[in-house]
Amino acid sequence: MNTTNTLKVSIVGGSGYTGGELLRLMLFHPNIELVQVASSSYAGQYVHSVHPNLRKLCTVRFCHPDDLTSVDVLFLCLPHGVSSHEIARYRGLATRILDLSADFRLRSPALYQQWYGEEHAMPEVMSEAVYGLPELHRSEMREATLVSGTGCMATAAILGLAPLYRAGLVDESIPLIVDAKVGSSAAGATPGAGSHHPDRSGAVRSFQPTGHRHSAELIQELGQGNEPLQQQVAFSATAIELVRGILVTAHVYTREQLDERALWRVYREMYQREPFIRIVKERSGVYRYPEP
């Protein structure tokens, strides 16, 4: 790996929403040198022709994935199922891989098959991947050679619930209820019948009231140690008229009665040094609760 402060980074699958947002962040990072951005569909075209917000900021052209060269870090922003089939080849190009798809979020092949309805293409690699939520796994991520992305709704739910579970305060005999409302960008850049603007605009649509795959991430990450959560999880997902943003409301019961001050203390102890977490606690006004 590069021994200087600058990391050479390339992105595979840079034409979608995830790749575009990652590009924006990379371009403004002081310790990153963007080397290549790969896309099978747009090879040879300028990146800003697909991401016009990057015009005058990025002069790189998309390359074909077959033309990638070795770098320090490789980001994979590919459709579900692609990374797991190609992971061996990509690991030959970089000492560290960050896969932003769902392919390596789960460590258990059995849990993956239960929630995705198919066997994993590389089950022997799954346990090597670190779930890429720094608030929970920062030290492991620093040393990992393979880091997974995290589900959008799962991230919101886990961050909201983790302090209670890590403190052992939740009564797991009563089901965990998670209600997630999500914007249209969660569906990705390729339009579908449910994400087409004329159908989505002005509408509220429950698209997966039960059985959502992000439930598996809660089961994995809210359990004790490496043991999965044994509590029943009821997870519902609703599409609302937003582009960006997620609002998750989660309901649990505690083992014992807690006053409000004790509850806030649990959250402050876990998140007071976290740069991406803001605890919203206002007693008056319109903005008393978190908003997307």
pLDDT values of the chain reduced to their tens digit, one per residue, 292 residues = 555 689 999 999 999 999 999 999 999 999 999 999 999 999 999 999 999 999 999 999 999 999 999 999 999 999 999 999 999 999 999 999 999 999 999 999 999 999 999 999 999 999 999 999 999 999 999 999 999 999 999 999 999 999 999 999 999 999 999 999 998 887 777 777 777 777 778 888 898 899 999 999 999 999 988 899 999 999 999 999 888 889 999 999 999 999 999 999 999 999 999 999 999 877 777 777 776 5
Please list, in sequence order, all residues whose beta carbon lies within 8 angstroms of the beta carbon of residue 222, skipping any fewer than 6 positions away: 158, 161, 162, 165, 176, 229, 231
Which domain-ending residue is among 150, 174, 191?
150
CA distance 46 to 25: 18
Q: Which domain holds residue 62?
A: 7-150
Same domain for 130 and 261, yes or no, is no
Same domain for 15 and 135, yes or no, is yes
pLDDT digits (tens, 9 = 90+) for 216-250: 999 999 998 889 999 999 999 999 988 888 999 99
Is 152 catalytic? The answer is yes
Q: Which of 58, 63, 77, 152 is catalytic?
A: 152
CA distance 163 to 274: 13
Same domain for 132 and 168, yes or no, is no
Same domain for 173 and 248, yes or no, is yes
Which domain-ending residue is among 119, 150, 181?
150
Cα pseudo-dihedral 49, 194, 80, 219, rounded to 10: 130
